[in-house]
Structure 1
């Protein structure tokens, strides 16, 4: 087993400290954080600095490319860091390791440029280029969560790519928070808000033993707005949701318009309670829409993980539940450092099924 080292970029500093504390508790008090930073010159240019030796160590680099709270000064003006800036800092720190680390694993919960994963016209393929760039820099493995489309790993067929599902943690949160759920086909359904989320929904619905429904995004392909074809409507495919608790599952909430529209349609169709599972809560347009929708009774709870930066205001919302993932990330690092398999950790179907059966037994 190689000596473990964790480099947490500024975007993931808090998570890195908590993960280190968890690992320290498991491993007899030893700490594993390797100090590193990316200072800026007055021109806005930067460099990566690793402040202790990483020679022959098993290094895990944590980065949150969606953290807008980190800033830097350029020409005396404060700028918030974009995903592009965070990715550049990631490369700087990898380069600062000088090829001396025994193995480098990048833990990037929100996969950088994952929404630009395919080409439909004269477009760039940013996610594929990013993965190949990391591979060329000597990165051995990339750990991400609920990738927008995991098939993008085909861009690096000879490197490790682990797409981890947070389904277990979502299940734990829901079943712990609500004690009156009836898990059967008469009282519960999982809902895909679009065709892209169907695989996630099928996975959870199969374990819970309930049915699924799906919304289809009807778009205006004759128009492009902000680089995309605008959504005209969400059309529903599936059996009746009347009187059932429904769980909408998606990889992210961006502006939230689609999720709120889906929730409204489900309530209009007679759904009892509407819960939302979304791995990443970006809330790029703020919370006003969600506050209004919640006050109208369109949904009951939104669950997202703490894998990316969470705005302090979000954590105060009555309709929000933060699903903690630091212990899970620590378990992944511990497992990989010991040479273990990722199969059961990345998609823990048996553990979820066992949890559902225990819940059913308690509420029988």
Structure 2
């Protein structure tokens, strides 16, 4: 199957894609799987995609990071930073440039475009569902994403291939490697959901670790909207005692970090020994000042996020930050799909997580 594998990477994911390609080449004793492409812009800001090699009859994997705001393009003499909308348009241009010739097209989009606009509560657009239907209509066979904000987006494509991959294995491995003094029992460790939406992820972790969980309920001001959302009035905690325990807060993303800081503060006020954060996507859209101050105040010990989205250079230098590398896992996903093998063990790797925890407990005796 190696001869028909092709990888097309948009500029937004090019660094990770190069490493993923190298891993696949090593596994398969090949030279290269990346098909050169570019998405140039006209002076008006309009764009197009140009593929520099044939994709006919190939199994194509297109990689894109819609959160990468470090890329700029020139329009009317000025530079604009690319927004998620710009990245999504370039993704569609790549698919259109394939011109229906590949054997199969798989889009790997770690952060699901418009994933936070997943439901309608009034007269508003339903952007994520429309995006998924649009990709299906363009001829995309599979969509791979990670820790979607709402896993029910599966329902948009009941007959299509959409895989929502859990990052729980990589977080478990990174955490237990870094903190060998962690005691995995219900008296010393608790997983905490910062809101109702994170409950399913926290239940998954807590059940595999065999410990208890807690949850914060976001009380919002539904009479007002600020920056597109109803502002949070307070976080109410539901759970047992945290006195002397290690607490792990699990969520899909860190945006401004305001909610995270409030949650960490309440956890510390309840007597937690240490506070750790697992978040698949570290966007840090309001900078680092508030996060830095919270760390200096001792509200948390470490933040773990993945390299699935663009990481700001200053983030990588933070003492409190740990980058969880997902390159080999993405390579394994591509390798598995290209060989037409089952994705079950990769999408939710419960067995491997249990084995990792068992090895850790065995080495701690």
On whether the aligned pair clears a TM of 0.5, the verdict is: yes
Report how far residue 155 of structure 1 moved.
Answer: 1.4
In the aligned structure 1, how far is the partner of 2:28 from the partner of 2:153? 35
For the pair 1:280 / 2:294, whether they are aligned, the reply is no
Shift of 1:80: 0.3
**What's 2:298 paired with?**
297
Residue 211 of structure 1 is matched in structure 2 by 212
CA distance in 2, matches of 1:306, 1:216: 29
Question: For each residue in 1:144-173, what CA deviation from the matched residue of structure 2 results, as whole angstroms up to 9, or x when unmatched?
Answer: 000000111211212100000000000000
Aligned equivalents of 1:100, 1:228: Cα separation in 2:
42
Distance in 2 separating the partners of 1:228 and 1:267: 27
RMSD over aligned Cα atoms: 0.7
- 2:266 & 2:281 partners in 1: Cα distance? 22
| CA shift for structure 1 position 339 | 0.6
CA distance in structure 1 between the aligned counterparts of 2:228 and 2:320, rounded to whole angstroms: 31
1:328 and 2:329 matched: yes
Deviations 1:77-118 (A, max 9, x none): 100000000000000000000000000000000000000000
- After superposition, residues 101-116 of structure 1 pair within 5 angstroms as 101-116=102-117
What are the superposed Cα offsets for residues 267-299 of structure 1, whole Å, 9 maximum, x if unpaired?
000000000000000000111111111111100
1:212-361 aligned within 5 A: 212-361=213-362
TM value normalised by structure 1: 0.99
What's the CA shift for 1:29? 3.0
Partner of 2:19: 18
Q: 1:156 maps to which residue?
A: 157
TM-superposition CA deviations, 1:207-243 (whole Å, max 9, x none): 0000000000001111121221110000000000110
Give TM-score scaled by structure 2 length: 0.99
Aligned length: 364
SS in 1 for 2:114: coil
Which residue matches 2:50? 49
Q: Distance in 2 between matches of 1:324 and 1:228?
A: 31
Aligned residue number for residue 127 of structure 2:
126
Runs of 4+, deviation exceeding 2 Å = none
Tell me the distance in 2 between the aligned counterparts of 1:9 and 1:184: 44
Q: Distance in 1 between matches of 2:227 and 2:282?
A: 20
| Separation in 2, partners of 1:121, 1:153 | 22
Once residues 348 and 152 of structure 1 are traced to their aligned partners in structure 2, the CA distance between those partners, rounded to angstroms, is: 20
Give distance in 1, aligned partners of 2:320 and 2:17. 27
CA distance in 2, matches of 1:52, 1:25: 22
- Secondary structure at the aligned position of 2:145 is classed as strand
Q: Distance in 1 between matches of 2:172 and 2:127?
A: 33
Counterparts in 2 of 1:188-203, with a 5 A limit?
Answer: 188-203=189-204
